[in-house]
Structure 1
């Protein structure tokens, strides 16, 4: 059969993982750099209140990425499962449905953000000192949110079609433009946070245009006008397979809202005040987003390989690529852990200066909050695995373990006994429990794969 000749089903797994994961990792790092670069230049040009403003606005970006993952991961998984099973027409219609889905949801999300922005920023922990900066920054960046959704969702489809490098270039283009325009608008034009926001939107527009240009050039399918018709059943199918990855992002947003408000409340009762914990936590979380971006990139790189081989009945390859990805994520996470523990002050210093209390809390926050990052990849890879094989409910439950089931309750309970320190210790405890839960779940699943019959020769 033609489907057995697809490289996803025959190439050595390490070679496949390298070819798909490296561009995915770079794309995710570039996505993280949008916010990192903004925060560095804002910290240097505006100060720590500007950093606090980007932290308050950040949940809107994570929700945006959640929508993109809902569409992109869900459509890519459906696309590869159909290709693996030899259903070309079904694969084509999945792509068409995903395009209409990203346009509609992107515009609706932008309108809602613009209508309710002050209320949302207050909900996300904005204080009176931070709100003017946050409003200015987010009014502009909201205009680019449909572009961000379209770029990230389309990039997943491009990767699923076997063009991970093109997907990477789409993300890289916007990041390069953003990095050039940030210092230009902030320092030369003296536009402050508005300059950083416009640099972000312009970069997103360039990435989106390049990503959309790929649609007529898919390798495995040829899209027609009929494929873009509104099909609610396909939207539902796409959403079901993208839900675990999407809700993981939504859960991150929910955690950040709880964390921001708790830091403001308990920080006001400490020597650090409200703004220092709010500003430094934003820096630490975005620095951790770089490490998470690498793990998510590995996860996204495994998705086409897992989906295709599961659809083709090659379960030994499914098991092999998952285990290979876990080993790689553990190695990378150990490197990240070492950097967070050994060089916290140097890392935070990249984002501007502050007084003794500012750096004291930032160092303490980074070392404590990120103490268990070495095992975070197992939960991300495991939840993505179940989405890739068409089991969204199990993937969803695993995706919610760390953020919703464990971390949020700990963020509420532990500060009652230990104040501000309780917020810091909540994360490593939740990370460890989520790791154990995911490891036990995957142990059962991998045993099941070994017992499944091999595909019959045709």
Structure 2
């Protein structure tokens, strides 16, 4: 980040800085979400419910890659922001190079172990139960495992570019990738009729373009943390801090992967492939919401991290308060839209099947009942990470799985298939109340001593 941008983080009004970072970040995440959502739209229209079921059943493996990418990205973004806040530009540059080293390592290990065990993975994911589902699932998983470095890499470079004081450029990169993915989906899935294989290939090509352009930026004179071919020495001491700071992001995605698998398992137990396809409809819709909220949280991260490193509690509090207010407003608006127009939303992912629209509408209305609190948990955990309160963020993230797995097992015994849909809202209600209490405590702690005593009185 340039000195001008660093001075801005120290001096400009937090409300102005919040929107400067949050708007491009939310837009970028929303555009990024189109990678998966557009895949779902094209698959639903051109492949049908078997295609939606296939992509939903194998997606936990893709989420593992996303989790590793999120771990590296959030870890290095936080490390860089804190180092820059402390005035250590050399340490920030070394952390960036350490993150690229981690990317190369994981990008090699995933296909090495995944491709040699792909049949076992399909069986474990229960994607081989029906011939039509397996026919679509196998090539999709093969391509996504092969291109793991692209999935993680495009995520990393957009974080790094944003943290380098270029949120607008990060948005341009993600927008370019999403538009390219839409075009390739139309050609490969719609025109050439390659099914899920075409969707995977289109996604990886788009991600490769974003990764290439993002890396190229850091070798130009416009980059604050400029890299030079003659001096590419990572800070080995930053490897563990990057992993540790990003661990909650990895666990958050791993939780989502485990929960997706658990939902798929229970849906096949209490329903059928159509139920899994309906869950895909709800999942794609939820992913757009979560990505918007995650974009909001990521936009807050440079402000929170820098102010924490610079010892400015009043600016930390102001940024956190802005984020929480906007998060709840978005959550309430999204909930109202889902409850009012479920059939219209489900129709986006249907080839005209009335059964899929009916099942998808039911899933949307029940499964997404607690969207505002779901968003609060995401923003709260990311904020705690950015303020270097990693253990607390980690505990909240793990609690989601601890609570949801028994809920998924017990509620269907009482309510049948509806119990599967309602397990997540119940857990989000419990965790949302916990995060609300923690955020209230942190907001009070960040008050000046005099105001804190007055508030206590």
TM-score band w.r.t. shorter chain: over 0.9
SS of aligned partner of 1:190: coil
The superposition leaves residues 343-391 of structure 1 with CA deviations (integer Å, 9 ceiling, x where unpaired) of: 1111111112365443332211110110010222221111111211222
Structure 2: distance between partners of 1:321 and 1:53: 41
In the other structure, the counterpart of 1:197 is 200
Deviation at 1:230, TM superposition (A): 5.9
In the other structure, the counterpart of 1:17 is 18
In the other structure, the counterpart of 1:158 is 161
Deviation at 1:37, TM superposition (A): 0.9
Structure 2: distance between partners of 1:21 and 1:58: 28
Structure 2: distance between partners of 1:227 and 1:423: 54
2:210 to 207, 210, 222: 207
1:101-116 matched pairs, under 5 angstroms: 101-116=102-117
Structure 1: distance between partners of 2:358 and 2:48: 17
Alpha-carbon spacing, 1:306–1:43, altered in 2? closer, same or farther (3 Å): same
1:92-241 matched pairs, under 5 angstroms: 92-126=93-127, 127-129=129-131, 130-217=133-220, 219-224=223-228, 228-229=232-233, 232-241=236-245
User: Bigger CA drift: 315-324 or 165-174?
Assistant: 165-174
Structure 1: gaps spanning 5 or more residues: 268-273, 454-458
Deviation at 1:4, TM superposition (A): 9.8
Deviation at 1:452, TM superposition (A): 7.2
SS of aligned partner of 1:213: helix
In the other structure, the counterpart of 2:257 is 253
In the other structure, the counterpart of 1:411 is 408
Q: Is the 8 A contact 1:406 1:434 kept in 2?
A: no
CA RMSD across the alignment: 2.1
SS of aligned partner of 2:224: coil
SS of aligned partner of 1:450: coil
User: Bigger CA drift: 11-20 or 224-233?
Assistant: 224-233
Structure 2: distance between partners of 1:257 and 1:65: 15
1:263-302 matched pairs, under 5 angstroms: 263-267=267-271, 274-302=272-300
In the other structure, the counterpart of 2:311 is 313
Deviation at 1:439, TM superposition (A): 1.1
**1:423 matches 2:420:** yes
Q: Is the 8 A contact 2:54 2:134 kept in 1?
A: yes
Deviation at 1:316, TM superposition (A): 0.6
Structure 1: distance between partners of 2:205 and 2:311: 44
1:243-392 matched pairs, under 5 angstroms: 243-267=247-271, 274-353=272-351, 355-392=353-390
Deviation at 1:73, TM superposition (A): 0.6
Q: Is the 8 A contact 1:151 1:170 kept in 2?
A: no
TM-score scaled by structure 1?
Answer: 0.92
What is the aligned residue count?
446
Deviation at 1:405, TM superposition (A): 2.5
Alpha-carbon spacing, 1:5–1:428, altered in 2? closer, same or farther (3 Å): closer
In the other structure, the counterpart of 2:51 is 50
Q: Is the 8 A contact 1:151 1:212 kept in 2?
A: no
Alpha-carbon spacing, 1:416–1:162, altered in 2? closer, same or farther (3 Å): same
SS of aligned partner of 2:249: helix
The superposition leaves residues 292-339 of structure 1 with CA deviations (integer Å, 9 ceiling, x where unpaired) of: 110000000000000001111111110111110111111111111111
User: Bigger CA drift: 318-327 or 418-427?
Assistant: 418-427
TM-score scaled by structure 2?
Answer: 0.93
Structure 1: distance between partners of 2:232 and 2:394: 28
SS of aligned partner of 2:147: helix
The superposition leaves residues 402-458 of structure 1 with CA deviations (integer Å, 9 ceiling, x where unpaired) of: x312222211121122221211111111111011111112222222222579xxxxx
Alpha-carbon spacing, 1:66–1:228, altered in 2? closer, same or farther (3 Å): farther
Structure 2: gaps spanning 5 or more residues: 451-457
Deviation at 1:256, TM superposition (A): 0.3
Structure 1: distance between partners of 2:284 and 2:125: 16
Alpha-carbon spacing, 1:242–1:440, altered in 2? closer, same or farther (3 Å): same
Q: Is the 8 A contact 2:5 2:165 kept in 1?
A: no
Structure 2: distance between partners of 1:417 and 1:389: 42
Structure 1: distance between partners of 2:234 and 2:410: 46
The superposition leaves residues 251-307 of structure 1 with CA deviations (integer Å, 9 ceiling, x where unpaired) of: 00010011101100111xxxxxx1111111012111110011100000000000000
Q: Is the 8 A contact 1:57 1:134 kept in 2?
A: yes
